[in-house]
Amino acid sequence: MKIIQDKENIRLTCSFLHPYVSAAAWFKHTPGEKALLIASAFSSTPQYHNDFDKSGRFIALREQSSFNLSISNAEPSDSATYYCAVADYSDTALLDCTVLVLKGSSSSLSAVLQPPVSDPVELGGDTTLQCSILTDTSAGEHSVYWFRHGSGESHPGIIYTHGNRSDECKKSSETDSPTQSCVYKLPKRNLSLSDAGTYYCAVLMCGEIIFGNGTKLDFVEKGVLEPVTLVLAASNIISIVMVVYLYRKSHSHHEGLVKPIIIQREDVEIQDAEMF
């Protein structure tokens, strides 16, 4: 995290040593809003997006082993999380993440971050969702809520609240930094299909509520087939066998009816030939 002053000039650096990096990009994420693409570069000339080039304060520079972003005359709206992403021929990765907080900004809540679930989740298994909050130490108490938005549901519903707690927070290691980091965890045990969905962490502070970007919880299929699946598979196999059996039986019965007719015609032809 970087504490910046009003009208300060900022330089964000994204370095990469991989020689096959084909594209690089900078993103800006303001708490409670979707991430915005600032600039991207496939070669030495960067391309700007979402009108970040209109003010002239955002300047991107692509070099051989880095993609840097400069912000001049910092404003309160520049308080956000900035991500640098790079891509090669087969993969994409985030290389840098910087949280900028303008000193004296009216907002005491600087960021609400929700990392994705690190390990694959299976039915009946366990996992832990995490929510990290970066806030001013002088901001006072805050409340944290968890919401779940399942498939087919119109609105997310609240499932858990941490209430007013400060024991989850640690002050920044920087000497003069007025910020603190608070980490909240939501354990999920013996997971079922009803637990699938997107989980949102929301923070209420000073009459303002800000949502995180959400953590999606999906399930991977187990290696062992469920009993219902086995029954359905067996039923399908039996049906196919019965259809094949009936088809063959019907076909052989049809051949049996046709064959005597052919023999009779042959006998008549033979008798007719003897008469001549």
Give the whole-angstrom CA distance, residue 7 versus residue 214: 32
Cβ-contact 120, 217 below 8 angstroms: no
pLDDT grade for 22, boundaries at 50, 70 and 90: confident
pLDDT of residue 273: 44
User: What are 21's two structure tokens?
Assistant: 């990096």
pLDDT of residue 175: 46
**Same domain membership, residue 159 and residue 264:** no
Q: Specify the DSSP class assigned to residue 149.
A: E
**Same domain membership, residue 153 and residue 191:** yes
The pLDDT > 70 percentage for the chain reads 63
Give the whole-angstrom CA distance, residue 231 versus residue 179: 58
**Same domain membership, residue 83 and residue 46:** yes
Domain region containing 270: 227-276
pLDDT of residue 270: 42
User: What are 215's two structure tokens?
Assistant: 């953590």
Render pLDDT for 134-170 as a digit per residue (tens, 0 to 9): 777 666 678 888 988 887 766 677 788 876 555 677 7
**Same domain membership, residue 183 and residue 96:** no
Give the whole-angstrom CA distance, residue 17 versus residue 4: 28
pLDDT of residue 15: 85
Does position 55 have pLDDT exceeding 60, yes or no? yes
Domain boundary among 105, 125, 150: 105
**Same domain membership, residue 77 and residue 37:** yes
Domain boundary among 66, 81, 105: 105
Does position 265 have pLDDT exceeding 60, yes or no? no
- Higher model confidence: residue 209 or residue 196? 196
**Same domain membership, residue 197 and residue 259:** no
pLDDT of residue 251: 62
**Same domain membership, residue 80 and residue 129:** no
Q: Domain of 16: which CATH number? A: 2.60.40.10
Distance of CA 41 to the CA centre of its chain: 24
Does position 1 have pLDDT exceeding 70, yes or no? no
**Same domain membership, residue 98 and residue 9:** yes
- Identify the weakest region by mean pLDDT among 20-24, 55-59, 144-148, 201-205: 20-24
pLDDT of residue 85: 86
**Same domain membership, residue 81 and residue 37:** yes
Q: Which runs of E-coded beta strand occur in the chain? A: 2-4, 10-12, 23-29, 36-41, 47-48, 58-62, 67-71, 80-87, 92-102, 109-113, 127-136, 143-149, 157-164, 169-171, 179-188, 197-205, 208-211, 215-217
Render pLDDT for 68-96 as a digit per residue (tens, 0 to 9): 999 999 887 887 888 888 887 767 777 77
Q: In what order do the strands lie in the sheet with 179-188?
A: 109-113, 127-136, 179-188, 169-171
**Same domain membership, residue 100 and residue 7:** yes
Give the whole-angstrom CA distance, residue 162 versus residue 177: 26
Q: Give me the residues paired with residue 211 across strands.
A: 202
The candidate with the shortest Cα–Cα distance to 78, out of 59, 99, 47, 95, is 99
Structurally, the chain folds into a number of domains equal to 3
pLDDT grade for 218, boundaries at 50, 70 and 90: confident
- Higher model confidence: residue 269 or residue 191? 191
pLDDT of residue 2: 72
In this prediction, residues 44-69 reach a mean pLDDT of 90
- DSSP 3-state of 51: coil
pLDDT grade for 224, boundaries at 50, 70 and 90: very low
Does position 184 have pLDDT exceeding 80, yes or no? yes
pLDDT of residue 262: 47
**Same domain membership, residue 265 and residue 237:** yes
- Higher model confidence: residue 273 or residue 92? 92
Domain boundary among 205, 224, 243: 224
Cβ-based neighbours of 132, under 8 Å, separated by 6 or more: 111, 112, 113, 114, 115, 181, 182, 183, 184
**Same domain membership, residue 266 and residue 177:** no
Cβ-based neighbours of 116, under 8 Å, separated by 6 or more: 215, 216
Radius of gyration (Cα) for the chain, nearest Å? 33
- Identify the weakest region by mean pLDDT among 141-155, 211-225, 238-252: 238-252
Q: Specify the DSSP class assigned to residue 41.
A: E
In this prediction, residues 90-107 reach a mean pLDDT of 68
Report which secondary-structure segment, H or E, holds 234.
Answer: helix 227-275
